[in-house]
Structure 1
């Protein structure tokens, strides 16, 4: 059951991300809407399915099911570890890619058929009190130097597009990155709990496999 608990936890986190951060999901053009939340929920569903396989193997004492559960769960753990190490090693490249992706989104701000992206940028700039990706001048590049959106104004709703003294000056990417850094401890605790649960699942499944094997040898 430990992996099923981990799967439930991942599903819960994914649902929370979808509900609380969904308004920011349109910022990225290369990722589908709610891509991160969907990925977490999908991972949770897979882990729950694997946990069910382990429970079935334990209930029926089938060595084949227990061994399959162990191998699949071990593969998931190794993939998670590899993904985490790869992300850490390539975090600089990820930063550059993310910034370029967000800048591409600026070009579609206010365009017909892009209400979600426009609203997402307005929400980010208003809530984080920032302007542009790396700098407020990012907007000059996509608006032909005509100023910034009203969501960059110190007073929301004010007509300040031509008054640089009335704009937020801090870059949104760094502001959001700092916010994530301040809350990373919560994600770290969650990841550690999931890792412990998965390791317990590996240990318990292998112990039960060995026990079933020993019993079969005893009776044969």
Structure 2
């Protein structure tokens, strides 16, 4: 009976880690796509390394590597791989909790950095008349349905077409009323609850993964199977 339960645990770990590997691959591919489509580094250079595309890339790489490690460790009944899988999940859980706490503590400071970067980027775009920078603003203004940092007046007499509600702009165009700073803040606030729930669910999955890995590890060690390859 015990052997059957452990076999069930082994193949359950293999199946779950395989699904996580496929999800990680999808997240990685989506991160690459967003990196090509949404260029926020030019608009918010202070937080360029923490942009959504970069975070998706990092998460995709981590998920694929860790899940593959867990899949191989469970399939081969390798104590070294299972222990490494356990330690990596523990480290990831600690890092996630620390990052969530830092985000709560420094929420105001992060908002100020985003505001300064957006204003500096808009001023630079108007001054240098850079086509590349204007293209980045077009992407953001279309994605968030906004115009300028606070409103359309930020652009002065050089209002880009992405600020228009109608496309193409008419002789007397109507502009988007909300600024990108307010729209971004609202978007993050609306998704904050989902982010928190996602972190909690992810931590629960990681704890279950650690329990499964340690249970299988202890069984292999008691059985004296060693490091099967």
> Where on the TM-score scale, by shorter chain, does this alignment land: which range?
0.7 to 0.9
Larger helix percent: 2
Deviations 1:38-71 (A, max 9, x none): 3322332223222222333323333333222211
Q: Find the residue that maps to 1:134 and give its secondary structure.
A: coil
The partner residue of 2:179 within 168, 171, 177 is: 171
Q: How many residues align?
A: 208
Q: Could you list the runs of 5+ residues in structure 1 that have no partner in the other structure?
A: 141-145
The partner residue of 1:212 within 201, 212, 220 is: 220
Question: Could you say which residue in structure 2 is the equivalent of 1:71?
Answer: 87
The partner residue of 1:60 within 63, 76, 89 is: 76
Question: Could you say which residue in structure 1 is the equivalent of 2:3?
Answer: none
14-23 vs 54-63, which moves further: 14-23
183-192 vs 171-180, which moves further: 183-192
The partner residue of 2:124 within 108, 124, 141 is: 108
**Following the alignment from structure 1 to structure 2, what is the Cα–Cα distance between the partners of residues 201 and 148?**
53
Taking structure 2 as the reference length, what is the TM-score of the superposition?
0.70
The partner residue of 1:198 within 183, 203, 206 is: 206
Q: Could you list the runs of 5+ residues in structure 2 that have no partner in the other structure?
A: 1-13
1:25 is aligned to 2:49 = no
**Following the alignment from structure 2 to structure 1, what is the Cα–Cα distance between the partners of residues 39 and 177?**
23
**Following the alignment from structure 1 to structure 2, what is the Cα–Cα distance between the partners of residues 138 and 110?**
10
1:13 is aligned to 2:27 = yes
CA contact (8 A) 2:46 2:113 kept: no
